[in-house]
Chain A
Amino acid sequence: MALLEVEDLRVAFGASTAVDGVSFAVDEGKVVGLVGESGCGKSVTSLAVMGLLPKGRPAKGRKASQPVQAAASEPVGPAGGGLKAAAAVPQAAPATGRRSRRGGGADVSGRAAFDGVDLLSLAPAAMRRRRGRDLAMIFQDPLSSLNPVVPIGRQITEVLERHRGLKGDKAAKEAAHLLDRVGIPDPTRRLKEYPHQLSGGMRQRVLIAIAVACAPRLLIADEPTTALDVTIQAQILELLKDLVDTEGTALLMITHDLGVVAGLCDEVNVLYSGRVVESAPVRELFARPTHPYTIGLLGSIPRLDLGIHEPLTPIRGSIADVIRWKDGCAFAPRCDRVAEACVAGEPALRGDLHAHRCVRAEEIA
């Protein structure tokens, strides 16, 4: 049995669906990638697994007392607008966090079994005991993800205190050790510093130190390198790889960067419009991409082995051009190889080791 088994996960914000039946698994000690464009639902998926989405609330709270609420659906057209809004939701990870302030919560359904226990049905208090201890998360923007008015040492020791019962000097010592572990020089002095005194790469290392403080069995990294310089990106990836190799931690890597996937992951799930469209071991995927969307993604990466005059092939349109999965392939409006069959009902995920959700896969190959 896999460490984390996500089955038919669905997340909706009001009328709009952000995640539309995602299933995947993460095995003990494996690195699994969740890949897709902004808005495909990958961040929302990870937040749902962590139990960090604002809870759905009865519609009572969103009535006339909130003038802003009334205009909420305004920019979205009446027909097909639902998915458009869904696509807009996870565009920037903070946007999902900010939803909480409006009282508009997420409706989450499906299963996310961690070691056999469904995280989605755990009581909030039980989930709090697991978060940070059994499973931990690394966020995209290291500056905004650290509390600006609390020394970083305290931000590390509070996890140690909460989950490992370490206090005072012991906790400080362990925190220094953790900073050392993630490659921060002079860790004892750094403990007293504030986030704004550190560089971007250092901050991300601190966040990683916080995440691995209690030796979690599953680490979720949500675009951990997107906000960093390219040189720093490589260092952080190296660090993550090292942690995974030495500690045996499983890693769920959320990214839009296929380079990251190639360098780090064992298995990949490609997401489009809230569903997995292709899922395969990493070598297999790069060698034989099957779904046109995956092919498109690979085609839009600059490659050194092709001539400089070789044009890149972007995917046309945007993720907002979408049809509902139950009517056909959501990617059809942007697909170069679209045919009648693509919009004749819901495409199934086919295949075992290398699964894909394209009715024309055989013809294309």
Chain B
Amino acid sequence: MLRYTVKRLLQLSVALLGLSLLLFAWFKALPGGPENRLLPENATDQQREALRASLGLDDPVWVQYGEFLGRIVRFDFGSSLSSGRPVATELADRLPATIELSLAAMVIAVGIGIPLGYLAAKRRGTWLDFTAVSGSLLGTCIPIFFLAAMLKVVFAQELGLLPTAFRLSAGAQYTDVTGLRVLDGLITGEFDVAWDALLHLVLPAIALSSIPLAVIVRITRASVLDVVGEDYVRTADAKGLKPATIRGRHVMRNAMLPIATIIGLLLGSLFAGAVLTESVFAFGGIGSFVYQATTERDYPALMGFILVIAVFYVVINLIVDLSYGFLDPRVRVRK
């Protein structure tokens, strides 16, 4: 298991290194060179020169890459063009909101998707199966920002059931612990804050969960169908085990292998989907920040975002790989 972990870690660091190369190339390829992109439009020639010098743009390329690498390792992405604050600080402030939103979406997707996919497989060919499959096909075809906006109009603006935007109601008193506000409210005992935060979370989380939900339903269905036809499930049946035992120990434990992989991959893409959802609900996470950065061509901010997301993605992949080792003994115990 240790060897497996180390091997995975090595592979991941190679991937990250490759990514930094890509990012560097991207950075160099920005039209007009980085200095034009890092400075406001009305910058003077002096500022330009100063920046060129400080960025070492006159050094050989590999020195520049070294510098670049050194800076991103220290999380120094420069200052945001729109706010003037360091990008790293901006991102750190907003990260918890995005994590909270993504986790909530994932909880919805997993909580509904796996049971629904299982039922669809078990009752293959029934109306339930048909509904689940067509629903999940449809789910992947709805533009997420449109879904978010429709949810907002219908449930928040027209019906007034849920708040339209932000993470808490205006004027709410709130103590920061982890930055995940529902969790914070529970930790500090401010249950009204937790409830308020939860209400604000519902619509964006539902919108964001649409694609992962659709994918999880289908992969669970396919995976369960595969496993149910396996010989070892018949063996379990031949042992006269109770249906619950067969389902839990023999069907689901095997069916979970591909599902776990997909969940990890989806978590990474959730952060990207959050860009669209958060901008609709002014959720104040990384997503809205990036939306702003994109519209204002705030390149330092964009670069920081891409890097942070990539690191997240890579870390999640590692966790998935390790959990895979945990779930599947064939991966874990290999001579």
- Contacts A147-B249, A148-B254 known; A162 to B231 CB distance under 8 Å? no
B238 & A132 in contact (Cβ 8 Å cutoff): yes
> Across the A-B interface, how many residue pairs have beta carbons closer than 8 Å?
112
B235 & A136 in contact (Cβ 8 Å cutoff): no
- A residues within 8 A CB of B229? 94, 97-98, 100-101
B249 & A65 in contact (Cβ 8 Å cutoff): no
A93 to B129, CA, bound (A): 27
Task: Name, among A97, A196, A210, the residue most crowded by chain B CB atoms within 10 Å (CB to CB).
Answer: A97
B241 & A132 in contact (Cβ 8 Å cutoff): yes
- B residues within 8 A CB of A265? none
B329 & A103 in contact (Cβ 8 Å cutoff): no
From DSSP, what is the main secondary structure of chain B's interface residues?
helix
Taking the complex as formed, is B232 at the interface, i.e. its CB lies under 8 A from any CB of chain A? Answer: yes
A159 to B230, CA, bound (A): 19
- A residues within 8 A CB of B240? 127-133, 159, 162-163
Least distance between B197 CB and chain A CB atoms (Å): 38
- A residues within 8 A CB of B327? 149
A159 & B239 in contact (Cβ 8 Å cutoff): yes
Number of interface residues of A (CB under 8 A): 45
Q: For residues 223 through 245 of chain B, which have their beta carbon under 8 Å from a beta carbon of chain A?
A: 225, 228-242, 245
Taking the complex as formed, is B330 at the interface, i.e. its CB lies under 8 A from any CB of chain A? Answer: yes
- Contacts A128-B241, A158-B241 known; A194 to B124 CB distance under 8 Å? no
B232 & A147 in contact (Cβ 8 Å cutoff): yes
A162 & B125 in contact (Cβ 8 Å cutoff): no
B225 & A139 in contact (Cβ 8 Å cutoff): no
1/0 contact string of A67-98 vs chain B (CB within 8 Å): 00100000000000000000000000110011
Taking the complex as formed, is B172 at the interface, i.e. its CB lies under 8 A from any CB of chain A? Answer: no
A52 & B234 in contact (Cβ 8 Å cutoff): yes
A144 to B242, CA, bound (A): 21
Task: Name, among B126, B237, B240, B253, the residue most crowded by chain A CB atoms within 10 Å (CB to CB).
Answer: B240
Number of interface residues of B (CB under 8 A): 32
Partner of B230, one of A50, A144, A162: A144
Task: Name, among A145, A163, A194, the residue most crowded by chain B CB atoms within 10 Å (CB to CB).
Answer: A145
A150 & B253 in contact (Cβ 8 Å cutoff): yes
- A residues within 8 A CB of B328? 148-149
A207 & B235 in contact (Cβ 8 Å cutoff): yes
Taking the complex as formed, is B333 at the interface, i.e. its CB lies under 8 A from any CB of chain A? Answer: yes
A179 to B90, CA, bound (A): 62
Taking the complex as formed, is A202 at the interface, i.e. its CB lies under 8 A from any CB of chain B? Answer: no
- A residues within 8 A CB of B231? 93-94, 97, 139, 141, 144-145
B232 & A210 in contact (Cβ 8 Å cutoff): no
Taking the complex as formed, is A61 at the interface, i.e. its CB lies under 8 A from any CB of chain B? Answer: yes
Taking the complex as formed, is A177 at the interface, i.e. its CB lies under 8 A from any CB of chain B? Answer: no
Task: Name, among B228, B236, B333, the residue most crowded by chain A CB atoms within 10 Å (CB to CB).
Answer: B236
- B residues within 8 A CB of A101? 124, 225, 228-229
- Contacts A97-B231, A100-B229, A139-B234 known; A148 to B330 CB distance under 8 Å? yes
1/0 contact string of B241-265 vs chain A (CB within 8 Å): 1100100011001100100000000
In chain B, what residue has the closest Cβ to A131? B240
Taking the complex as formed, is B26 at the interface, i.e. its CB lies under 8 A from any CB of chain A? Answer: no
A131 to B240, CA, bound (A): 5
- A residues within 8 A CB of B245? 158, 162
- B residues within 8 A CB of A98? 229
B254 & A147 in contact (Cβ 8 Å cutoff): yes
In chain A, what residue has the closest Cβ to B332? A194
- B residues within 8 A CB of A52? 234, 237-238
In chain A, what residue has the closest Cβ to B251? A147
- A residues within 8 A CB of B254? 147-149
B333 & A131 in contact (Cβ 8 Å cutoff): no
Taking the complex as formed, is A173 at the interface, i.e. its CB lies under 8 A from any CB of chain B? Answer: no
1/0 contact string of B214-228 vs chain A (CB within 8 Å): 000000000001001
A210 & B125 in contact (Cβ 8 Å cutoff): no
Least distance between B36 CB and chain A CB atoms (Å): 56
In chain A, what residue has the closest Cβ to B327? A149
Taking the complex as formed, is A63 at the interface, i.e. its CB lies under 8 A from any CB of chain B? Answer: yes
A207 to B238, CA, bound (A): 11
- B residues within 8 A CB of A128? 240-242
A147 & B236 in contact (Cβ 8 Å cutoff): yes
Could you show 8 A-B contacts with beta carbons less than 8 Å apart? Answer: A94-B231, A127-B240, A128-B241, A139-B235, A141-B231, A148-B328, A149-B330, A154-B249
* List of 10 A-B pairs having minimum Cβ-Cβ separation, nearest first: A131-B240, A132-B240, A61-B125, A132-B239, A144-B231, A98-B229, A194-B329, A147-B232, A145-B231, A137-B238
Further pairs besides A66-B124, A144-B231, A149-B257: 15, Cβ < 8 Å: A50-B238, A61-B125, A61-B126, A94-B229, A97-B230, A136-B238, A139-B238, A145-B231, A145-B232, A145-B235, A150-B249, A154-B249, A158-B241, A158-B245, A207-B235
